């Protein structure tokens, strides 16, 4: 058993020197006890024989030295022996360095990788605090690295902060820069470092403001900034509150919908661009058999928006919503209910005519969920642009597009629904339903009810204006 | 109203800047404060450093702020648009310079990313941005990273000056389609934006030529230019976005295209957007971007990975796996013989793993457990690979391959 003495846990030159001698002398890895000065004494008490005489010189690829320089900084006590074992193999077969699947090489690479990550994290997470020192500012940081990297990392801080005076204190070793030279002192404790800096509060406010609560992704944060670093990062103290705040905001938002925002000043230009875009819509297959897209129409500052199901045969040909029989019925009902037709925006949940050909006639078909979903995009853009105070869904398809779920008309009609955008939603029947009721007495009754609901909605519009 | 303090302004103007996704501080020339003229501050060393991470998982490497969030434009997707009732603030040049230096000295940041709302005119705003960069570089000999957002309509001379001080310049194309831009940002113009990008590219190339002849010729934006596209605000599908990104990379020699998931901003940030932004879609687009830039996929290849009906990339599996499932005839691939391009197409094999395989197989034939040591997960790779002791036999042809590789199905939420 031989003994190799190293001056410190990161003594690469000492290891290189000893390893070269042992390897030249043909000493196997298991026969060397690597001892770091000031480290734990070996459990094996023995009288080490004199190291073998210097044998023939040999060389190893540059890649090995680069790898070893990093790996030796790892805190794993086996690193010296692993590197020695790898050295002996690489000496005999230099191409081994290319065999990235070799288990030993892989293991040493993992050590080097951990060290490089630790060095990178130190560069990232050191936080200086400014103190007054001999009449001039000095920047002092406290950091706790995982591996023996402080000395190897000093160069980075010198290059970056050459004109400042700074110190980095760590449990094992402290380094100091006075603007000219780098010096070392023994390890320190957290209490030796300054406890605060007025700029830290400004930094924390920045950290809290740059965070986007709509995109909470804690796992991504934790993988790059694990909790073990948090106690030395002033901004990390805010994280629990920011996360809780983001969740609370979401809950509050569901409870109390926000006020609608101001309509952009260029709404007219935006609406006609939107309409032009919709004219070429192929978001679902319905465009194939329809004549044209039938987009909404009406004043853009209308407080009331009516949403129908889809254009019918006449609307499809005319290119305008609610011009067919159902539209005419709607116009009369609005008139009776004293709702101002000129202050109304009308549109449809689905903007192409879905139909089936029977003989010479095109028979209306109810649009299905994928079509409603595809077309909802346009409706959302219209709602976003117009910001109506009240939105009325005529019939089940419109209610589904507006509320995002299937509802029963009979159970939802007659009462306002708070919508997430801050508007008020109402659901009632589609006028075409009134055309289809076979029994005349019931038809009149249903029509009366429809007009009554429109009248209530009209009153709400006036109340909210 | 009382004048705002600097920390108050910082809160408003950082909040207003957070919708810009870009945070990179890498890829510029190396420089430091220990060499050359004395008294400088800062360094750049190639690889960027993320000095902190916010709970949204984003890296904080630069002080990312607006000079002001007042704006004469009225772009619908933007929280700072003229008609928004967000609180307004404006930094002076000196305030930005002091904040940058104070943060930098404490190792909070790698540099500055400065953007601005348009005030008075495009030229006036651009002048202010350039003034910040000039003060940092010339008065304080700041050698850290500077990213300036460039205003497309500003005088080309001003953009040119910006390039002499900044490491990176960027102009946002904002929306993937010209119609979308016309509709949502009527004051902006797609061809003027692209014209400015083309101008920037030629300035970079001119300066590159000059430096080959004269060693001391000034550098122009050594970290190149980038742009950002908002995803989900107009009707563009992933196919259109990927094609647009490809053509931007090709025509303007961009370093990066950033994708930002759009969510309608109901009112100032005190409340969340009504709809969660489509983060997964954004993530898939970044994956497809990576596949184009590092894995040799063309825009056509990626189009083959999109869903034929919706034109979008699948959300449940990554685009590389989606492509492989549609091209099963190309697999399995022999790790011991296949060319680099074929290995790069294997879902689950990254660029580093492929390079390690190529280096190792020169020495010996690789077995499956060799490959396992070179990669993170071998289970997902097995159906696509042949190794000296492994052949997937029927695995690649199995109809339920997607199910066995994709995420475990989860029950839909009843009250979602």
Task: Match 């190794």 to its residue by tokens.
Answer: B387
* CB pair distance less than 8 Å for A221 and B45: no
Give me the domains of chain A, ranges plus CATH numbers. Answer: 2-121 (no CATH), 126-192 (no CATH), 198-255 (no CATH), 267-464 (3.40.470.10)
Closest in A129, A208, A277 to B183, CB measured: A277
Could you tell me where the beta strands, DSSP code E, fall in B13-68? 52-53, 59-60, 62-66
Select, from the ranges B70-84, B253-267, B392-406, the one with the highest average predicted confidence (pLDDT): B70-84
**Rounded to whole angstroms, what are the CA distances from A409 to A270, A400, A438?**
33, 10, 19
Return the pLDDT at A87: 95
Closest in B263, B267, B366 to A259, CB measured: B267
* CB pair distance less than 8 Å for B10 and A163: no
B221 φ/ψ angles, rounded to the nearest 5 degrees: 35, 70
Return the pLDDT at B269: 29
Return the pLDDT at B271: 31
Chain B residue with CA closest to A260: the answer is B266
Q: What is the mean pLDDT of residues A285-297?
A: 92
* CB pair distance less than 8 Å for B82 and A249: no
Report yes or no: A203 at the B interface, CB cutoff 8 Å.
yes
Task: Indicate if the pLDDT at residue B19 is higher than 70.
Answer: yes
* Per-residue pLDDT tens over the stretch A62-86: 999 999 999 999 999 999 999 999 9
Closest in A101, A215, A276 to B373, CB measured: A101
Return the pLDDT at B28: 84
**Rounded to whole angstroms, what are the CA distances from A78 to A4, A88, A114, A343?**
14, 16, 15, 82
Residue B168 parent element (H or E): strand B168-170
Helix (H, G, I), strand (E, B) or coil at A289: coil
* Per-residue pLDDT tens over the stretch A378-418: 998 898 888 899 999 999 999 999 988 889 999 999 899 88
Q: How many CA atoms lie within 13 A of B127 on its CB side?
A: 7
Report yes or no: A265 at the B interface, CB cutoff 8 Å.
yes
Report yes or no: A98 at the B interface, CB cutoff 8 Å.
yes
* CB pair distance less than 8 Å for A269 and B186: yes
**Rounded to whole angstroms, what are the CA distances from B275 to A214, A250, A380, A388?**
9, 10, 11, 18
**A242 contacts in B (CB within 8 Å)?**
54-55
- If one counts every other C-beta atom within 10 angstroms of the C-beta of residue A363, the result is 10
**B99 contacts in A (CB within 8 Å)?**
202
Q: What is the mean pLDDT of residues A20-34?
A: 89
Task: Match 């994928």 to its residue by tokens.
Answer: A370
Chain B residue with CA closest to A380: the answer is B264
* Per-residue pLDDT tens over the stretch B272-293: 334 566 788 999 999 999 999 9
Which residue(s) pair with A127 in the sheet?
none
pLDDT category at B82 given cuts 50, 70, 90 is confident
* Per-residue pLDDT tens over the stretch B148-185: 999 988 998 999 999 999 999 999 998 998 888 888 88
Select, from the ranges A314-318, A441-445, B104-108, the one with the highest average predicted confidence (pLDDT): B104-108
**B50 contacts in A (CB within 8 Å)?**
124, 224
Instruction: Note the CATH number of domain B6-261.
Output: 3.20.20.70
pLDDT category at B209 given cuts 50, 70, 90 is confident
Task: For residues B244 and B197, give the distance between their C-alpha atoms in angstroms, rounded to a whole number.
Answer: 14
Task: Indicate if the pLDDT at residue B74 is higher than 60.
Answer: yes
Weakest mean pLDDT among A162-171, B182-191, B353-362: B182-191
* CB pair distance less than 8 Å for B84 and A261: yes
pLDDT: which is higher, B270 or B401: B401
Task: Indicate if the pLDDT at residue A302 is higher than 70.
Answer: yes
* Per-residue pLDDT tens over the stretch A424-435: 999 999 999 999
Return the pLDDT at A250: 67
* CB pair distance less than 8 Å for B40 and A269: no
The nearest CA of chain B is from the CA of A280 a distance in Å of 11
The nearest CA of chain A is from the CA of B408 a distance in Å of 19
The nearest CA of chain B is from the CA of A97 a distance in Å of 9
Domain ranges of chain B: 6-261, 327-405
Task: For residues A251 and A254, give the distance between their C-alpha atoms in angstroms, rounded to a whole number.
Answer: 5
* Per-residue pLDDT tens over the stretch B230-267: 988 877 889 999 999 999 999 998 999 999 888 655 44
* CB pair distance less than 8 Å for A216 and B56: yes
* CB pair distance less than 8 Å for A384 and B264: yes
**B357 contacts in A (CB within 8 Å)?**
100-101
User: ipTM of this model?
Assistant: 0.90
Closest in A106, A126, A158 to B34, CB measured: A158
Task: For residues A111 and A101, give the distance between their C-alpha atoms in angstroms, rounded to a whole number.
Answer: 15
* CB pair distance less than 8 Å for B45 and A263: no
Task: For residues A299 and A345, give the distance between their C-alpha atoms in angstroms, rounded to a whole number.
Answer: 6
Task: For residues A450 and A452, give the distance between their C-alpha atoms in angstroms, rounded to a whole number.
Answer: 5
B182: left (phi over 0), alpha (psi -120 to 50) or beta: alpha
* CB pair distance less than 8 Å for B32 and A162: yes
Closest in B34, B58, B186 to A270, CB measured: B186
Return the pLDDT at B39: 81
pLDDT: which is higher, A253 or A79: A79
């Amino acid at each position: 058993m031989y003994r190799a003495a190293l001056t410190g846990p990161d003594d690469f030159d000492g290891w290189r020197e000893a390893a070269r001698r042992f390897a030249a002398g043909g000493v196997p890895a298991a026969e060397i006890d690597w001892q770091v000065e000031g480290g734990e004494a070996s459990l094996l008490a023995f009288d080490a024989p004199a190291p073998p005489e210097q044998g023939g010189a040999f060389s190893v690829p540059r890649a090995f030295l680069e790898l070893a320089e990093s790996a030796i900084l790892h805190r794993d006590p086996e690193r010296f022996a692993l590197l020695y074992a790898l050295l002996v193999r690489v000496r005999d077969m230099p191409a081994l360095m290319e065999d990235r699947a070799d288990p030993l090489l892989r293991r040493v690479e993992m050590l080097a990788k951990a060290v490089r990550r630790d060095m990178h994290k130190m560069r990232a997470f050191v936080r200086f605090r400014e103190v007054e020192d001999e009449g001039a500012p000095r920047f002092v940081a406290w950091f706790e690295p995982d591996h023996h990297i402080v000395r190897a990392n000093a160069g980075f801080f010198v290059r970056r902060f050459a004109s400042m005076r700074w110190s980095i204190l760590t449990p094992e070793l402290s380094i100091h820069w006075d603007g000219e030279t780098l010096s070392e002192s023994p390890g320190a404790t957290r209490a030796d470092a300054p406890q605060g800096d007025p700029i830290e509060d400004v930094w924390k406010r920045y950290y809290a403001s740059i965070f986007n609560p709509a995109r909470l992704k804690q796992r991504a944060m934790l993988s790059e900034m694990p909790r073990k670093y948090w106690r030395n990062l002033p901004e990390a103290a805010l994280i629990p509150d920011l996360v809780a705040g983001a969740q609370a905001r979401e809950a509050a938002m569901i409870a109390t919908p926000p006020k609608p925002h101001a309509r952009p000043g260029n709404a007219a230009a935006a609406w006609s661009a939107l309409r032009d875009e919709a004219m070429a819509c192929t978001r679902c297959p319905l465009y194939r058999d329809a004549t044209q897209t039938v987009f909404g129409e009406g004043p853009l500052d209308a407080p009331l928006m009516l949403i129908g199901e889809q254009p019918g045969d006449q609307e499809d040909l005319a290119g305008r919503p609610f011009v067919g029989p159902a539209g005419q019925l709607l116009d009369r009902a609005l008139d009776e209910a004293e709702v101002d037709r000129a202050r109304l925006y009308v549109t449809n949940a689905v903007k192409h005519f879905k139909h089936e050909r029977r003989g010479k006639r095109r028979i209306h078909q109810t649009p299905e969920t994928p079509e409603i979903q595809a077309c909802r995009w346009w409706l959302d853009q219209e709602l976003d642009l117009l910001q109506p105070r009240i939105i009325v869904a005529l019939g089940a398809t419109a209610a589904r597009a507006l509320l995002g779920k299937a509802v029963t008309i009979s159970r939802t009609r007659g009462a306002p629904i708070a919508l997430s955008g801050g508007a008020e939603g109402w659901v009632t029947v589609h006028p075409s339903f009134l055309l289809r009721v076979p029994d005349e007495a019931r038809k009149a009754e249903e029509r009366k009810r429809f007009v009554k609901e429109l009248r209530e909605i009209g009153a709400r519009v006036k109340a909210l204006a | 109203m009382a004048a705002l303090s600097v920390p108050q302004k910082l809160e408003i103007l950082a909040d207003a800047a957070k919708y810009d996704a870009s945070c990179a501080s890498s890829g510029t020339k190396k420089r430091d404060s220990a060499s050359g003229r004395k008294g400088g501050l800062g360094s750049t060393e190639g690889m960027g450093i993320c000095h902190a991470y916010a709970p949204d998982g984003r890296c904080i490497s630069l002080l990312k702020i607006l000079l002001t969030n007042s704006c004469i434009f009225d772009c619908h997707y933007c929280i700072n648009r003229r008609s928004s009732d967000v609180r307004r603030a404006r930094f002076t040049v000196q305030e930005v310079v002091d904040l940058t230096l104070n943060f930098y000295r404490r190792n909070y940041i790698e540099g500055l990313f400065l953007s601005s709302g348009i005030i008075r005119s495009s030229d006036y705003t651009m002048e202010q941005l350039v003034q910040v960069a000039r003060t940092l570089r010339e008065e304080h000999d700041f050698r850290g990273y500077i990213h300036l957002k460039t205003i497309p309509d500003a005088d080309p001379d001003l953009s040119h000056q910006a390039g002499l001080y900044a490491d990176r310049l960027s102009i946002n194309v904002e929306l993937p389609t010209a119609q979308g831009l016309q509709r949502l940002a009527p004051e902006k113009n797609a061809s003027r934006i692209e014209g400015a990008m083309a101008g920037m590219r030629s300035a970079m190339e001119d300066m590159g030529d000059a430096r080959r002849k004269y060693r001391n010729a000034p550098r122009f934006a050594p970290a190149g230019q980038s742009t950002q596209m908002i995803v989900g605000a107009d009707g563009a599908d992933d196919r259109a976005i990927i094609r647009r990104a490809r053509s931007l990379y090709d025509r303007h020699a961009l370093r990066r295209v950033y994708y930002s998931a759009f969510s309608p901003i109901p009112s100032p940030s005190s409340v969340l957007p009504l709809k969660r932004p489509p983060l997964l879609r954004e993530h898939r687009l970044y994956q497809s971007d990576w596949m184009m830039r590092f894995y040799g996929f063309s825009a056509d290849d990626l189009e083959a990975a999109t869903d034929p009906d919706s034109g979008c990339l699948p959300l449940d599996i990554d685009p590389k796996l989606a492509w492989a499932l549609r091209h099963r005839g190309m697999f399995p691939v022999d790790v011991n013989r296949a060319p680099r391009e074929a290995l790069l197409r294997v879902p689950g094999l990254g660029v580093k793993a492929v390079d390690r395989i190529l280096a190792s197989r020169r020495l010996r034939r690789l077995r499956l457990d060799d490959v396992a040591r070179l990669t993170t997960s071998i289970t997902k790779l097995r159906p696509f690979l042949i190794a000296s002791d492994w052949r997937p036999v029927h695995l690649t042809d199995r109809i339920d391959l997607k199910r066995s590789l994709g995420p475990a199905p989860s029950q839909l939420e009843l009250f979602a």
